């Protein structure tokens, strides 16, 4: 599944609704569903606020299902991140004036099994998210 | 067949008598408004006077705004914000501006966010709550959250928000607790 949408804040709800509908076939628990929705919402919000700095742009979202594994790619072609390690520190934010909590990447890390970030300053940022659905049920 | 036609005719006439449509004249409308004035207005006044507000019988001093997504109520010096939509970056943009205007304009000491109708929240919501907490904290107030569902509760726990913001079951409970603490304070 691959969609491209505009970087406006209304599309945050759209993106996470699409993902929720797409992974429904794996029969996720409510908790798993809300985890994935939160992670996607964080990634898309990052594209809009930091990638495009609230200006116009395109966001690409790709999702694949392989057995019980879902892998999501969310990509923007905006400003990029200079220091990825610093950006991923909990509570670190470049936008305290907009009341960003600095927890976007921390939430993505907490709610998904795997998080990878690739970024080229001036070119854009690509976020890879992975999660296996239905594992916690057996525990 | 004739009997059925007859019933139809009577039925149509009945409709004409009560609903003002193309057929009704101005005096008929005035007549209806007169009866509405006698029955509907006193019933509304009765509801406002005698039906207790949702804050557990607390006195409502002001009901300010009721817009899509949220509504606000002020109980004495507690501002209660009932969020009724998913709390993401988009929702936060308008809620932040509105709640700040209310905190600055009114005699607000404490702020309470009710999450009864919130099914989803992300880190933008945390930013909103921390920002409002800082605002009332400088004025000697406190912040609380109420009616927190399981999805939102997880976000609060992971972010450590409960260290600075108190959780209560209902807005009424929060108001009672904050008022008591406030009385102790002075």
Locate the chain B residue with the closest alpha carbon to A15: B88
What pLDDT does B9 receive? Answer: 42
Which residue has better confidence, B168 or B18? B168
**pTM of the complete model:** 0.75
- β pairing state of A124-132 and A114-120: antiparallel
Instruction: Return the half-sphere exposure (C-beta side, CA atoms, 13 A cut-off) of residue B36.
Output: 7
Q: State the average pLDDT for chain A.
A: 93
Q: How far apart are CA B24 and CA B87, in angstroms?
A: 48
Residues B175, B115, single domain; the answer is: yes
pLDDT for residue A53 is more than 60: yes
Q: How confident is the model at residue B64 (pLDDT cuts 50, 70, 90)?
A: low
Residues B109, B181, single domain; the answer is: yes
pLDDT, tens digit, 9 for 90 and up, residues A85-112: 999 998 899 998 888 989 999 999 999 9
pLDDT for residue B1 is more than 50: no
- Residue B19 has a CB neighbour count (10 Å cut-off) of 10
What pLDDT does B44 receive? Answer: 65
What pLDDT does B124 receive? Answer: 94
Locate the chain B residue with the closest alpha carbon to A93: B127
CA B114 to chain centre: 10
Q: How far apart are CA B83 and CA A65, in angstroms?
A: 34
Interface test with B, best of A20, A37, A41 (most B CBs within 10 A): A41
In which domain, by residue range, is B36 found?
Answer: 2-50
Domain presence at residue B123:
yes
Q: State the average pLDDT for chain B.
A: 77
pLDDT for residue B62 is more than 80: no
pLDDT, tens digit, 9 for 90 and up, residues B115-140: 999 999 999 999 999 999 999 998 88
Residues B12, B78, single domain; the answer is: no
Average pLDDT of B54-80?
68
Average pLDDT of A121-131?
96
Find the CB nearest B123 among A13, A30, A107: A107
Radius of gyration of chain A (CA): 14
Domain presence at residue B104:
yes
Residues B152, B98, single domain; the answer is: yes
Domain presence at residue B57:
no
Residues B78, B106, single domain; the answer is: yes
Find the CB nearest A103 among B86, B123, B151: B123
Q: How confident is the model at residue A73 (pLDDT cuts 50, 70, 90)?
A: very high
Inter-axis angle of helices A10-23 and B89-105, nearest 10: 140
Contact state of B123 with A12 under an 8 Å Cβ cutoff: no
Contact of A30 with chain B, judged by CB distance below 8 Å, is answered with yes
- Active-site residues of A, by number, are 42, 46, 100
3-class secondary-structure state, position B160: coil
Q: How far apart are CA A139 and CA B113, in angstroms?
A: 35
Contact state of B159 with A101 under an 8 Å Cβ cutoff: yes
Q: Which residue has the tokens 């005699």?
A: B107
Q: How far apart are CA B181 and CA A24, in angstroms?
A: 46
- β pairing state of A2-6 and A58-66: antiparallel
Contact of A9 with chain B, judged by CB distance below 8 Å, is answered with yes
What pLDDT does B5 receive? Answer: 43
Chain A neighbors of B159, CB-CB under 8 A: 101, 103, 107
Interface test with A, best of B123, B132, B159 (most A CBs within 10 A): B123
Residues B14, B38, single domain; the answer is: yes
Distances (CA, A) of A78 to A102, A124, B30: 19, 5, 62
Interface test with A, best of B122, B150, B154 (most A CBs within 10 A): B122
Per domain, the residue ranges of chain A are 2-138
Residues B106, B171, single domain; the answer is: yes
Average pLDDT of A50-66?
96
Contact state of B151 with A9 under an 8 Å Cβ cutoff: no
Residues B159, B82, single domain; the answer is: yes
Domain presence at residue B58:
no
- β pairing state of A69-76 and A114-120: unpaired
Residues B92, B172, single domain; the answer is: yes
Structure tokens at A75: 């990509």
DSSP tag of A92: -
Residues B150, B120, single domain; the answer is: yes
Interface predicted TM-score (ipTM): 0.90
pLDDT for residue B159 is more than 60: yes
What pLDDT does B15 receive? Answer: 44
Find the CB nearest A12 among B89, B128, B159: B89
Chain B neighbors of A38, CB-CB under 8 A: 120-122, 155
Q: Are A101 and B134 in contact (CB under 8 A)?
A: no
Find the CATH number of the domain harbouring B121. 3.30.750.24
pLDDT for residue B90 is more than 80: yes
DSSP secondary structure, A14-81, as one string: HHHHHHHHHHGGG---HHHHHHHHHHHHHHHHHIIIIISTTS--EEEEEEEEETTEEEEEEEE-SS--
Residues B90, B165, single domain; the answer is: yes
What pLDDT does B57 receive? Answer: 46
pLDDT for residue B59 is more than 90: no
Q: How far apart are CA A67 and CA A133, in angstroms?
A: 9
What pLDDT does B4 receive? Answer: 46
Single out the residue of B182, B95, B183, B88 nearest to residue B132, CA to CA: B95
Q: How far apart are CA A70 and CA A62, in angstroms?
A: 10
Q: How confident is the model at residue B151 (pLDDT cuts 50, 70, 90)?
A: very high
pLDDT for residue B10 is more than 80: no
What pLDDT does B178 receive? Answer: 87
Contact of B90 with chain A, judged by CB distance below 8 Å, is answered with yes
> Among 3.30.1490.20, 3.40.920.10, 3.30.565.10, 1.10.3720.10, what is the CATH number of A2-138?
3.30.565.10
* Through-space distance between the first and last CA atoms of chain A, rounded to whole angstroms: 30
| Number of domains forming the structure of chain B | 2
pLDDT, tens digit, 9 for 90 and up, residues A9-47: 999 999 999 999 999 999 999 999 999 999 999 999 999
């Amino acid at each position: 599944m691959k969609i491209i949408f505009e970087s406006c804040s209304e599309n945050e709800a759209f993106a996470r609704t699409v993902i929720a509908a797409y992974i429904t076939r794996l029969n996720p628990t409510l908790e798993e569903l809300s985890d994935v929705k939160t992670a996607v919402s964080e990634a898309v919000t990052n594209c809009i606020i930091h990638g495009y700095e609230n200006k116009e742009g395109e966001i690409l979202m790709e999702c694949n299902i392989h057995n019980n594994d879902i892998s999501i790619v969310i990509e923007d072609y905006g400003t990029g991140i200079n220091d990825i390690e610093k950006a991923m520190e909990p509570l670190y934010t470049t936008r305290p004036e907009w009341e960003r909590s600095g927890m976007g990447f921390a939430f993505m890390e907490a709610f998904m099994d795997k998080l990878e970030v690739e970024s080229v300053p001036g070119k854009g940022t690509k976020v890879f998210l992975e999660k296996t659905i239905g594992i916690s049920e057996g525990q | 067949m004739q009997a059925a036609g007859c019933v139809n005719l009577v039925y149509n006439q009945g409709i004409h008598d009560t609903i003002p449509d193309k057929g009704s004249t101005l005096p008929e409308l005035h007549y209806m408004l007169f009866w509405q004035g006698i029955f509907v207005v006193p019933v509304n006044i009765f509801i406002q006077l005698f039906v207790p507000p949702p804050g557990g019988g607390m006195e409502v001093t002001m009901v300010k705004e009721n817009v899509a997504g949220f509504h606000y109520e002020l109980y004495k010096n507690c501002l209660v914000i009932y969020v009724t939509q998913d709390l993401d970056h988009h929702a936060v943009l308008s809620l932040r501006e509105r709640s700040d205007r209310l905190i600055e304009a009114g005699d607000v000491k404490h702020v309470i966010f009710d999450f009864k109708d919130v099914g989803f929240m992300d880190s933008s919501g945390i930013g909103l709550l921390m920002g409002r907490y800082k605002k009332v904290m400088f004025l000697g107030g406190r912040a609380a959250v109420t009616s927190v569902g399981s999805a939102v509760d997880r976000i609060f726990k992971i972010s450590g928000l409960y260290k600075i913001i108190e959780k209560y079951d209902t807005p009424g409970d929060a108001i009672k607790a904050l008022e008591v603490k406030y009385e102790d304070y002075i």
